[in-house]
């Protein structure tokens, strides 16, 4: 019987405090929407960057070192 009393009490409180209930629901809706929006923007940006890299030949870059350059130092050697 305790569960039904709590349920009845919570529904009564929602009816009495309509404005507070509205503001609470509005805050939850805005919070969830902002999280979804930020996640969508991040994923869209990631897809944009990877799409641009694929257009430019993603994975086909060569790295070379100019040993004759004056600023070249031995500590910059790449190990296989």
- pLDDT by residue (tens digit) across 19-53? 999 999 999 999 999 999 999 999 999 999 888 87
Has this prediction a pTM greater than 0.85?
A: no
Which residues 6+ apart lie within 8 Å of 32 measured at CB? Answer: none
Residue 14 domain boundaries:
2-76
With cut-offs at 50, 70 and 90, classify the pLDDT of residue 59. low
The token duo for 54 is 């694929």
Q: How many domains does the chain have?
A: 1
Q: Which residues of 40-49 are buried (b: 16+ CB within 10 A; e: fewer)?
A: eeeeeeeeee
The token duo for 42 is 């991040």
């Amino acid at each position: 019987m305790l569960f039904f009393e709590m349920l009845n009490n919570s529904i009564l409180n929602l009816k009495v405090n309509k404005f507070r209930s509205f503001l609470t629901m509005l805050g939850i809706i805005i919070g969830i929407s902002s999280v979804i929006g930020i996640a969508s923007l991040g994923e869209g940006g990631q897809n944009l960057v990877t799409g641009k890299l694929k257009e430019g030949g993603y994975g086909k870059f060569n790295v070379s070192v100019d040993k004759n350059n004056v600023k070249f130092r031995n500590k910059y050697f790449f190990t296989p």
